[in-house]
Structure 1
């Protein structure tokens, strides 16, 4: 008896076709923006994984390259934010005395935590984000935050409420 081929979801052949027809084009597009074939290949794969996980029916795409560019641009922004955060972290590490420098494992965990925090706070206005981080990471009170931001304490309270609400909604 021969093994039967299991049926695949209706969107899979469409995703396969989208991947087959546009992956190399997308990688080239990303490579031009990144100047790096390795990162371009990674982001290309991430783009298709996002599409696979999305609710958007691939078969209904009118302009597949425009859709790929939209998803790719979002991933590029995330990539650059992550790199910027990583560079800031490495710069801070370089200023530490040698006996205080964390081990490679600790650095990895800290960087992962920073990236998760960055993703959690993504979408908050810069002032709200700063207020939240100063409060949570530096332990500043609302008065001190208000002075730094040059706003009222009442505004800082609103910022904090907005940040907490954002975090709760992201976690749901």
Structure 2
């Protein structure tokens, strides 16, 4: 009698069971601790769950997981750099001007959201937008700083506004 082999299990649970420890080990080597690696691994599988990628159609699941994991790792490093820059700026403030821990948390969350919103914009467009919105610079001042024409700054601003509107949709 010939035994029928069961078809391979194509589900998130099978993907998780088969590849979680491998991914977590890879991430642990990159971040240097098990806690961040475990968090990033879980976030990776949550991204897979939320993605339109069909698990059953994955030819190279480890390559896919690695790509998602690398992006999350990059986001982690960017967030830590942003947090450190913020803490460095706070250290320069007079003691009576330092925000409370709650205010600091809200500010960090806002900075992170802004950073994510502007992600994907070219550096000059991003810089022009931030100077306009955060420092209140006019197009002429931005053009001088960037060494471009005012017309180019207008184009950069339009691109930034369009990007923000499309991300929000």
Q: Normalising by the residue count of structure 1, what TM-score does the alignment of the two structures yield?
A: 0.91
- Contact conserved, 2:128 with 2:157, CA < 8 A, in 1? yes
Q: Deviations over 1:85-107 (max 9, x none)?
A: 11110100010000000000000
1:68-107 paired onto structure 2 within 5 Å: 68-107=65-104
For structure 2, the residue ranges without an aligned partner over 5 or more in a row are 1-8
Q: 1:36 aligns with which of 20, 30, 33?
A: 33
> Are residue 163 (structure 1) and residue 168 (structure 2) matched?
no
CA distance in 2: counterparts of 1:34 and 1:153, whole angstroms: 43
SS at match of 2:11: helix
- RMSD between aligned alpha carbons? 1.1
Q: CA shift at 1:18, angstroms?
A: 0.5
**What is the total number of aligned residue pairs between the two structures?**
161
For structure 1, the residue ranges without an aligned partner over 5 or more in a row are 1-11
SS at match of 2:59: coil
> Are residue 25 (structure 1) and residue 22 (structure 2) matched?
yes
CA distance in 2: counterparts of 1:150 and 1:76, whole angstroms: 34
1:47-58 paired onto structure 2 within 5 Å: 47-58=44-55
Q: Normalising by the residue count of structure 2, what TM-score does the alignment of the two structures yield?
A: 0.93
1:149-160 paired onto structure 2 within 5 Å: 149-160=146-157
Q: CA shift at 1:79, angstroms?
A: 1.0
Deviation beyond 2 Å, 4+ runs, structure 1: none
CA distance in 2: counterparts of 1:136 and 1:88, whole angstroms: 19
Q: Deviations over 1:71-129 (max 9, x none)?
A: 11111111111111111101000100000000000000000000000000000000000
